[in-house]
Amino acid sequence: MKKSIFLIILMVSCALSAVAKDLTYLSTEDFKKKVCYYDKSSTTQWKYLGDKPCLIDFSTTWCGWCKKLHPILEQIAEQYDGQIYVYTVDADKEPELAALFAVSGYPTVVLCPMTGSPQKVAGYNPLEFWQEAILQVFGIAKP
């Protein structure tokens, strides 16, 4: 009996450790602290605030392509852990952020390098596309 319980606990802990890294939800307030501070009443020049580049996923709960993209972004978060941040924004809950990047379709991912302007990619893309984009935009090779 004790062996069975031990095996079950071991299997569950192994399964949990294999789960992909969750995406970090980004609210408007978090965005202003972690990504770029802006004020609606003024035109603020883009200045990235993070200490590592980031991907920001703009999606909605009702979007099928967004649901298909999330596991890929979770893989990216795990593969590039410590090198980039991977954020997600619910565009229905944070319309001000979506408007800031002129997001008109979902999913849309914004790549924010340490220097230079953010780059926007609309639509679903596979893992290999994102690995190449991270190399091209951030200069970080596939782990």
Which residues are known catalytic residues? 63, 66
DSSP calls for 114-139: SSS--EEEES---HHHHHHHHHHHH-
Instruction: State both tokens at 138.
Output: 């951030």
Instruction: State both tokens at 51.
Output: 């200490």
Q: How far apart are CA 46 and CA 110, in angstroms?
A: 13
Strand partners, 54: 85, 112
Instruction: State both tokens at 38.
Output: 């802006």
